[in-house]
């Protein structure tokens, strides 16, 4: 069995809750894949990364997939901040809509209005542990089983799974979400927030909106069969779009 946890977005309490549900269901040695977006919007991105790194250091059977928000943080922390060209021209990672300021605040970086980018960046270099950036940088883009292909945002339909680009794996949305074709494997993803996880036959979306204060939904996969773990017990997620 394999467990997958969707976008965390700085919600440490929700992460701890999800991990407790996984351990209660599968024990302390359960194999877990995290779908990325560990940072931004929620109050404790630093704490989330600390928790994940501690688990990995302790030998937990965990795999951390990179999300687009994680890469935005990673790129900001380069010697010369780099911003993702996928974003609309009026947005950068530091815009309130994206949550970079909340991430920096969790490290104690001053984010007051009127500060120059150079000052914020210089303080971030001092206060964000290099090990956190290495963690984000080294996370892999995908994880596969015989039945599942796991990536943060999804895949570009019609392109072989081993030929997907990093850009699409981190950022694709409508071209993937709206496509009903069968893929070579069931795609498990996050990135596009929904009220509850969805199973659309060709894909499973586990981003339940934790970045906006909703619950984090851990899921158990037995082959391609998906079961959501909740405080009220397991709920089968059938290819009908909603949990039963």
| Other beta carbons within 10 Å of 115 | 13
Give the model's pLDDT for residue 190.
98
Q: Is residue 243 part of a domain?
A: no
- Count of structural domains within the chain: 1
Q: Is residue 36 part of a domain?
A: yes
Q: Is residue 58 part of a domain?
A: yes
pLDDT in tens, 37-85: 999 999 999 999 999 999 999 999 999 999 999 999 999 999 999 988 8
Q: Is the pLDDT of residue 244 over 50?
A: no
pLDDT in tens, 161-216: 999 999 999 999 999 999 999 999 999 999 999 999 999 999 999 999 999 999 99
Q: Is residue 183 part of a domain?
A: yes
Q: What percent of the chain has pLDDT over 90?
A: 86
Element (H, E) at 170: helix 166-171
Please state, rounded to an integer, the average pLDDT across all residues of the chain.
94
Give the model's pLDDT for residue 242.
47
Q: How far apart are CA 216 and CA 102, in angstroms?
A: 19
Name the pairing type of β-strands 32-34 and 2-5: parallel
Q: Is residue 221 part of a domain?
A: yes
In sequence order, the 6+-apart residues with CB closer than 8 A to the CB of 177 are 154, 192, 205
* Domain coverage including residue 35: 2-237
Q: Is residue 23 part of a domain?
A: yes
The CATH number for 206's domain is 3.60.21.10
Q: Is residue 54 part of a domain?
A: yes
């Amino acid at each position: 069995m394999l467990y997958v946890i969707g976008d965390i977005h700085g919600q440490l309490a929700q992460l701890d809750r999800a991990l407790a549900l996984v351990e209660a269901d599968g024990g302390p040695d359960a194999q877990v894949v995290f779908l990325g977006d560990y940072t931004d919007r929620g109050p404790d991105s630093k704490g989330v990364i600390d928790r994940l790194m501690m688990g990995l250091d302790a030998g937990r059977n965990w795999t951390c997939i990179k999300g687009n928000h994680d890469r935005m943080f990673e790129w900001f922390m380069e010697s010369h901040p780099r911003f993702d060209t996928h974003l609309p021209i009026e947005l950068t990672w530091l815009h309130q809509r994206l949550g970079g300021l909340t991430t920096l605040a969790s490290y104690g970086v001053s984010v007051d209005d009127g500060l120059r980018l150079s000052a914020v960046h210089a303080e971030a270099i001092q206060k964000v542990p290099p090990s956190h950036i290495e963690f984000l940088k080294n996370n892999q883009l995908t994880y596969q089983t015989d039945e599942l292909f796991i990536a943060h945002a999804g895949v570009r339909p019609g392109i072989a799974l081993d030929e997907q680009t990093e850009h699409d794996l981190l950022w694709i949305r409508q071209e993937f979400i709206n496509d009903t074709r069968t893929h070579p494997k069931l795609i498990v993803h996050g990135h596009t927030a929904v009220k509850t996880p969805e199973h659309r036959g060709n894909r499973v979306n586990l981003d339940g909106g934790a970045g906006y204060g909703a619950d984090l939904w851990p899921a158990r996969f037995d082959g391609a069969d998906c079961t959501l773990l909740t405080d009220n017990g397991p709920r089968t997620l059938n290819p009908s779009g909603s949990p039963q």
